[in-house]
Amino acid sequence: MTKLNFRTHPFLLGFEQLERLAERTAKSGADGYPPFNIEQASENAYRITLAVAGFAEEDLSITVEDRQLMIRGRQRDESEENRVFLHRGIAARQFQRSFVLAEGVEVTGAALENGLLHIDLHRAEPEPVVQNIRIARR
């Protein structure tokens, strides 16, 4: 028995990109840092919350490219030279966390509050499309 995928299944026309999205999602770092929540605020609204204790706004960047939401964090080590830690349990490492967004989902805003980075997303209502195709005579 042969395994069918999106490229070879006869009824899935034009879904080749879906397989690439699934592969890209699988590769998007599963180390667990920083921890995050995904909430559904309403039928078409979502919120991603990342725990970014110790990061300032200028240490964080949020970009969307090719339907991939990318959140990066890098703390500056300006005052670290003179500090001696007896125990360091608060992670101060750089991170990169990515999420693949469905078509029609857009980032509507982001806010940093009490060590939590909130990213709000909204999905536009798809409009039903009915298209009549004229049959040409040949």
Question: How far, in Å, CA of 88 to CA of 91, rounded?
Answer: 8
Q: What are the counts of helices (DSSP H) followed by strands (DSSP E) for the chain?
A: 1, 7
Work out whether the CA dihedral 96, 49, 32, 99 comes out positive or negative.
negative
Work out whether the CA dihedral 84, 85, 90, 96 comes out positive or negative.
positive
pLDDT of res. 8: 67
Of 104, 100, 96, nearest to 123 by C-alpha is 104
Q: Does pTM surpass 0.95?
A: no
> What pLDDT digit, counting tens, does each position of 7-53 carry?
666 666 666 666 666 666 666 555 788 999 999 999 999 999 999 98
Peptide bond into 10 cis (omega under 30): no
> Which is higher by pLDDT, 71 or 31?
71
Chain centroid to Cα 54, Å, comes to: 21
> Which is higher by pLDDT, 91 or 55?
55
Domains of the chain: 1-30 (no CATH), 31-78+85-123 (2.60.40.790)
DSSP at 108: E
Q: How confident is the model at residue 135 (pLDDT cuts 50, 70, 90)?
A: very high
pLDDT of res. 82: 80
> Which is higher by pLDDT, 27 or 82?
82
Of 21, 47, 52, nearest to 116 by C-alpha is 52
For 28-51, b/e burial (b = at least 16 CB within 10 A) is: eeeeeebebeeeeeeeeebebbbe
Q: Is residue 70's pLDDT more than 60?
A: yes
